[in-house]
Amino acid sequence: MNSGIGLADVIVMFAYFAVVVAVGIFAGRFTRSTSEFFFAGQRFSWWLVAISCVATLVGSYSFQSYSQVGYLYGFASMMPYTNEWFILPIFLVAWLPIIYYTRVQSIPEYFELRFDRPTRTAVLVLLLIYLEVYIGINLLTIGQVLFGVFRAYAPFETPDLNILLAAGLMALVAGIYLHHGGQTSVLMTDLVQGLLLLGVGLGVLLAGVYYVGGPSAFWQGLPPDKRMPMAPFNHPPGLHTVGDFWNDAIIGTFAFYCINQGVLMRFLSVKSVRDGRKAMLATVVVLMPLAAAAVSGAGWVGRSMNTLGLLEHDAATLALQTSDPNIVEKTIADQIFVNVARHVLSWPGMFGLVMAAVVAALMSTLDTLITAVSAVAVNDIWRPLNPGRDDAYYLRAARITSIIATLIGLAMIPVGTRFETIYQALSMFTSLVIPPLVVVIFLAVTTHRFTARAAFWTLVLGSAAMVVSLVWPEVIRPFSHGVDPSAGFPYLRGLFGLIASLVIAGGLTLVETRLARLPSWFARWAVGTASLAGIGGAVWLPLASRIDFSSTGSTADSWGWITGLLWLAAGFALVSARIVVQGPRKHESVDGLVMGTIDHARQMFKGGQPSEQGVGRSLVMPLVIVDAPATDHQVCLPPEAMRQLKVEPGDLLYVADSRWWLGGFRSFHAKAGPAAEHPDALHLPRQLAELGHLLPDRAVRIEKVM
């Protein structure tokens, strides 16, 4: 992005920082326990979580990169934001209810319940790599953006140091409110940031359409191939349907909603699973297409303006001494977001607002990731090492680890600058860990036959398979769908990883559930033969690769990928042999942890038989706060209210301030007690009213949750 920032822009940006920090610190006043720090007390409404989710998904690089894609490929740039439907059943019916009802606090914790400690540790390592790399990449992006804008004021001569300084300052701003309020602050600041980034993005699009002469002129300005909502099947290399489908629709979406601890914590902060489902549906159907238009709009408008001769090019493009149209096109695309914003929003302070939206996109992603690392570190490292301490101790640990997570993210920046582009760095790291995790989570929640040892070794060998595909991209070719191989199949590496991990997972499950139960001599013979074949091949092929194959028309290097595959086969054979020698393990109960046994989890969550009668109904009544002791978080409703809501003693209730726009900010969960004597108002012990931050003169809305 170019410099040339004015005083009004600087004022707008600093005003934005002040508002975000103020909102974050205000919301942080309501955080008193680890449950509130990580999950905001599980009390928020679906719409707040949905907006927050979109704010998280739109990263700091989104405006820049999706505008480029929008300029180069037209409306097809919306594909990554409108292809999430296929994963929905798994998330809505299996993953969300399992995680919510079992009350696990982190993804690795689920794996210990479902499998065993080693699997939890393996997931913990992969998850921390994924999250910390993500934090580093976001900090790097914003460092580069701010360095570009404030280049004239940069204190150091070395660009990398200036980027580090800018990223550090942004981390400090996010850290101030995060350290204070955790998830509650994240949700409330994300509301501000989500609305800002959607508003500015859509504002640029609408102002741009008006600038070119209205919707008809805008449409006519787009070349026919740029009007298509989907990219061609397997070309051009930058965006094609087959790559988008596997890399983004399946793996990316699964990773975002099921593996990203930060997003999962967002869904765990809703007041009920029903609201979590509503949040997901609203996100995918309404907010994601809007976000797609917001981040890509400048690219579409820029293309239309260019065709109609309305786009004035900046100095860098005009100075370009080349006749290669691809380089000119790429250079225009690189600048298109700022260029279009400057054309269509030209009054003072608007550029500052646009920059504030870009920074908002970063901070809303960054704060989510930092809270996620903090949650994983406290629940999966700190708590197991220091068990039995009071909640205040773990809350302090959470606040300290959020600072450490940010510092590690900053330390990742020099690693990220070694890559040609930020996207390359992100793809490289995430592709190593995501496909095996996707397969393991999918099988863990869908089938009880998937065993602990199969899960653990799928994570290990699956990651090894991804390393093989990085070293020898040739292994991806059978799954390339005719995509040009010269770029090394970056968008299809995930498909290879999925298939390799599925084969490993299925194979090892079969070994444990079938082969290990066979008569021992046969099992030893079968697995021993496979092991020898695998190891023999892995040893032979590196030797064979030294042989000159030129006389046969082949080259030594062309055999390298077979070496990689044989190393994997050898690993698989050794693990199989180990499982057979150890024998089958005793079958552990997976009730409540696998799809089809969720009723068990619901029963445990409620502490009794769940009933759906009256769920979703609500009523508003006055609140009277009384100085009486609270018994076991019990709320006694008037008899008429119990009848209307079909509430029985022991049912789970949600009591909130009746103003819907608070989104559950003042609310709490309670159990229904016996019917109260007072017919017209809810008489609530002061302790419970304070728990839900309820105000004495405000009516409350009561809802049956379960």
Contact 265, 39 (CB under 8 A): yes
Of 27, 63, 134, 31, nearest to 426 by C-alpha is: 134
Name residue 567's amino acid.
W
Q: Is residue 241 within the footprint of another protein (CB under 8 A)?
A: yes
Q: Is residue 19 within the footprint of another protein (CB under 8 A)?
A: no
Largest CA distance in the chain: 97
The distance in angstroms from the start CA to the end CA of the chain is 51
DSSP state of 676: P
The Cα 557–Cα 221 span in angstroms is 49
Measured from the CB atom, the residue of 365 and 501 that comes closer to another protein is 501
What mask of x and - would describe binding to another protein in positions 329 to 358, judged by CB under 8 A?
------------------------------
Among 595, 630, 662, 681, binds another protein (CB under 8 A): 595
CB of 187 to another protein, least distance (A): 24
Of 215, 314, 300, 245, nearest to 82 by C-alpha is: 245
Q: Is residue 404 within the footprint of another protein (CB under 8 A)?
A: no
Among 245, 337, 351, 654, binds another protein (CB under 8 A): 245
Contact 341, 355 (CB under 8 A): no
CB of 286 to another protein, least distance (A): 11
> What are the DSSP E strand ranges found in 83-155?
none
Q: Is residue 596 within the footprint of another protein (CB under 8 A)?
A: yes
The Cα 503–Cα 522 span in angstroms is 23
Cα dihedral 336, 337, 340, 346 in deg (nearest 10): -140
The Cα 446–Cα 450 span in angstroms is 9
User: In sequence order, which residues have a C-beta less than 8 Å from that of residue 498 and are 6 or more positions away?
Assistant: 246, 250, 251, 435, 438, 439
Of 194-202, 592-600, 622-630, 681-689, which segment contacts another protein by CB under 8 A?
A: 592-600
Measured from the CB atom, the residue of 61 and 75 that comes closer to another protein is 75
Q: Is residue 611 within the footprint of another protein (CB under 8 A)?
A: no
The structure tokens 């609530």 sit at 684
Of 163-171, 238-246, 297-305, 540-548, which segment contacts another protein by CB under 8 A?
A: 238-246
Measured from the CB atom, the residue of 25 and 93 that comes closer to another protein is 93
Of 208-216, 471-479, 501-509, 594-602, which segment contacts another protein by CB under 8 A?
A: 594-602
Window 60-79: residues binding another protein (CB under 8 A) = 75
CB of 64 to another protein, least distance (A): 25
Measured from the CB atom, the residue of 65 and 241 that comes closer to another protein is 241
Q: Is residue 598 within the footprint of another protein (CB under 8 A)?
A: yes
The helix/strand/coil state of 683 is strand
Q: How many residues belong to the chain?
A: 706
Window 248-267: residues binding another protein (CB under 8 A) = 249-250
CB of 344 to another protein, least distance (A): 24
CB of 488 to another protein, least distance (A): 22
Window 87-126: residues binding another protein (CB under 8 A) = 88-90, 92-94
Give every strand in the sheet of 652-657, ordered side by side.
618-621, 700-704, 652-657, 667-672, 634-635
Q: Is residue 217 within the footprint of another protein (CB under 8 A)?
A: no
Compute CA distances 309 → 221, 304, 306, 416, 546, whole Å: 9, 9, 5, 38, 59
Backbone dihedral angles phi then psi of residue 502, each to the nearest 5 degrees: -65, -40
Measured from the CB atom, the residue of 143 and 221 that comes closer to another protein is 221
Q: Within a 10 A sphere around the Cβ of 330, how many other Cβ atoms?
A: 14
Q: Is residue 224 within the footprint of another protein (CB under 8 A)?
A: yes
Q: What is the DSSP string of 595-660?
A: TT-HHHHHHHHHTS----TTTT-EEEE-EEEE-----TTEE---HHHHHHHT--TT-EEEEEES-G
Count of residues that bind another protein according to CB under 8 A? 35
Measured from the CB atom, the residue of 229 and 536 that comes closer to another protein is 229
Measured from the CB atom, the residue of 78 and 332 that comes closer to another protein is 78
Among 232, 238, 608, 614, binds another protein (CB under 8 A): 232
Of 370-378, 412-420, 595-603, 681-689, which segment contacts another protein by CB under 8 A?
A: 595-603
Window 445-484: residues binding another protein (CB under 8 A) = 446
Window 613-652: residues binding another protein (CB under 8 A) = 615
What mask of x and - would describe binding to another protein in positions 269 to 298, judged by CB under 8 A?
-----x--x---x--xx-------------
Burial 625-663 (b: 16+ CB within 10 A, else e): beeeebeeebbbbbeebbebbebeeebbbbbbbbeeebb
CB of 533 to another protein, least distance (A): 33
The contact set with another protein (CB under 8 A) reads 75, 82-83, 85-86, 88-90, 92-94, 224, 227-233, 241-242, 245, 249-250, 274, 277, 281, 284-285, 446, 595-596, 598, 612, 615
